[in-house]
Amino acid sequence: MRGLILTVVILIAACSQNQPQKRHQETAECQRYRTMMTAPMSPEAHNRLKVACDLSVKAR
């Protein structure tokens, strides 16, 4: 019984280690694109914002 409790405690401790979490931070271009997604604008202007967002993400 004691061994089982020890095993469970060790398993829980091993699984709950503080692992670094990546924070998702949007680029300014992507924030602008998401803000303007529902704005009334030409498809060409909308596409330019999307392309700028995509390029800024790839440049990271």
Count how many residues are written for the chain: 60
Residue 51 pLDDT: 97
H or E stretch covering 50? helix 43-58
**Separation between Cα atoms, residue 58 and residue 1, nearest integer Å:** 54
Phi then psi dihedrals of residue 18, to 5 deg: -75, 105
Domain positions in the chain are 26-60
Contact 51, 33 (CB under 8 A): no
Q: What is the pLDDT along the chain (60 residues), one digit of tens a residue?
A: 888 787 877 767 666 666 666 667 899 999 999 999 999 999 999 999 999 999 999 998
- pLDDT value for 19: 61
Contact predicate 28/52, CB 8 Å: no
pLDDT, position 41 = 94
